[in-house]
Amino acid sequence: MIIRNILILCLFFSCENQRNIYIDSEIILELAGMSSNPVPPPLFVSVPFYIKNNDGTITQTTGGELKKIFNTYYYNKYTSFSDFLSEGLNQNIEFNRAEVLHNGEAFVVDSKISEYYKAGGIDSILKIYFIRGENHKGYFIKDSNLTSEELKSIFYYLFIEKYFVFEDDYTRKILIERMDAVIEIPVK
């Protein structure tokens, strides 16, 4: 009986302390490395990244803005920007919305999009809202009549499933590509 109770407690505490890992450490290290460039690449400063807030909302931001947040509020809480980026992008930090509000746009995940994701994962989102690009290069969004909240919610789920979203201001097309197809990971 005592051993069973100890096992149950161990199981409870091990499940309680698990961290989300959506984005691989290699991608995180490459993104963090981009921040040290005198002129960071467009991927780091203009492609949307998503972080979780302490009020249940999500903030759409960029790597450049996350670097500012790190330097202002978190530099003494993490040993490096890459550690901070890993925890933030993997949704393991609940950011104070007041601290990040001026560094991005907060939104509530749309319930319909959330239900699609919970029911069928990212594959159902891709089937419903996207068409495959030429030569199977990325995906393009089908429906331009989605609300801003629906789009941001779709983009949030894509992000945690390792996709980048690229918006072409000129053609108004939205392209998504897997992170590992965009970022070259050095061979070890």
What would the pLDDT profile of 71-82 be if each residue is shown by its tens digit? 999 999 999 999
CA distances from 182 to 44, 104, 128, 134 (A): 12, 23, 23, 16
Strand spans (E) along 22-65: 49-53, 58-61
Residue count (the chain) = 188
Instruction: State the pLDDT at residue 11.
Output: 39
> Which residues are 94's β-sheet partners?
52
Total-model pTM: 0.84
The continuous run of DSSP H or E covering 68 comes out as: helix 63-69
Instruction: State the pLDDT at residue 4.
Output: 43
Instruction: State the pLDDT at residue 5.
Output: 42
Strands 49-53, 58-61: pairing kind? antiparallel
Nearest-angstrom CA–CA distance, 118 and 137: 26
Instruction: State the pLDDT at residue 181.
Output: 87
Nearest-angstrom CA–CA distance, 156 and 106: 11
Among 121, 90, 81, smallest CA distance to 24 is for 90
Burial class for 143, CB neighbours closer than 10 Å (0-12, 13-18, 19+): exposed
Instruction: State the pLDDT at residue 136.
Output: 64
Please identify every stretch of the chain with a pLDDT value under 50, giving residue numbers as ranges.
3-17
| Structure confidence by residue, pLDDT tens digits, 103-121 | 678 999 999 999 999 999 9
